[in-house]
């Protein structure tokens, strides 16, 4: 297992996402392309709807994209997300996890976030990763993994 990158970035709720402070607490870090888009909203809603189960398993959930804190705050409030969203406009976190990819959008090549999810264990190590995530059923799969994690 590789160690999670030691980073500190702003997140919603006027808080800081600091990976060194999270050691001792397992967490899910999911990357998504953009606030208020259909797939990203569905993915966030799935994490929201199963948030109690993640909490019961002792696992925190964080979402991350390149959107600004202001955009994140609005998205979080609109969708009633019970977890924080990390703002990464400079792609520091995205680069650390290798989620920036060239994608086809309407016939054009664009650089963007590949929908990806990582489980970080209490030791601060990447325990599991999913890349190129398809939204339907994904959050349930992540939940099942963390519930079985020791």
Known catalytic residues are 40
Both tokens of 5, joined, read: 């990158």
Bridge partners for 87 per DSSP: 65
Count of CB atoms within 10 A of residue 106's CB?
A: 5
Q: Helices in the chain by DSSP H: which ranges?
A: 38-49, 51-56, 69-79, 92-97, 138-148
Do 135 and 37 form a contact (C-beta atoms < 8 A)? no
Do 69 and 10 form a contact (C-beta atoms < 8 A)? yes
The position carrying tokens 């999810």 is 117
Q: Are strands 27-31 and 60-65 parallel, antiparallel or unpaired?
A: parallel
């Amino acid at each position: 297992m590789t160690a999670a990158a030691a980073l500190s970035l702003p997140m919603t709720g006027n808080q800081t996402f600091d990976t060194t402070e999270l050691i001792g607490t397992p967490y899910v870090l999911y990357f998504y392309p953009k606030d208020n888009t259909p797939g990203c909203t569905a993915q966030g809603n799935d994490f929201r709807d199963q948030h109690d189960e993640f909490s019961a398993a002792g696992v925190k959930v964080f979402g991350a994209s390149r959107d600004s804190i202001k955009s994140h705050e609005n998205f979080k409030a609109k969708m009633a997300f019970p977890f924080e969203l990390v703002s990464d406009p400079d792609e520091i976190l995205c680069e650390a996890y290798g989620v920036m990819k060239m994608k086809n959008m309407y016939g054009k090549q664009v650089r963007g976030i590949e929908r990806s999810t990582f489980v970080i264990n209490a030791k601060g190590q990447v325990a599991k990763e999913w890349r190129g995530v398809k939204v339907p059923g994904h959050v349930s799969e992540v939940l099942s993994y963390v519930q079985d994690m020791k």
